[in-house]
Amino acid sequence: MIEAFAPVRTDKPWGYELLLAQTGQYVGKILHVTAGNALSLQYHREKDETIYLHAGRAVMHYHDDAGVPGNRPMLPGHSFHVPPGSVHRIEALADCDFFEVSTPQLDDVVRLEDCYGRSGTIAP
């Protein structure tokens, strides 16, 4: 059955998140990250996500399979697949709008570093 769904906005210290879709199989979000802000350096134990930059300029910080830090610039149209266990952080160089599609584990975040005083694991 088709159901109406009101997107849910959650303000974050780096901007906001707009939850567009949530089922037992997938989640869809828009992440708005304001210039000069960054998400936590984090990884997910189970969550598998793909992030697409729709507007703005950003940097994807990551650790490779050997744990060596690196980064890649992101421009509109760039997309990254972030499998479980991948250490990553998004930094906005300009105001950015990202589309995120993931598996449904919304609370599966292990924060390693955070600019806003949040730390540790988020668990339900």
**The pLDDT value given to residue 121:** 63
Which pTM value belongs to this model?
Answer: 0.91
**The pLDDT value given to residue 123:** 45
**The pLDDT value given to residue 122:** 61
HEC string of 44-92 equals: CCCCCEEEEEEECCEEEEEECCCCCEEEEEECCCCEEEECCCCCEEEEE
**The pLDDT value given to residue 13:** 96
- The pairing of beta strand 49-55 with beta strand 79-82: antiparallel
Homologous superfamily of 15-122? Jelly Rolls (2.60.120.10)
Tell me the pLDDT of the chain (124 aa) as tens digits. Answer: 898 889 999 999 999 999 999 999 999 999 999 999 999 999 999 999 999 999 999 999 999 989 999 999 999 999 999 999 999 999 999 999 999 999 999 999 999 999 998 877 664 4
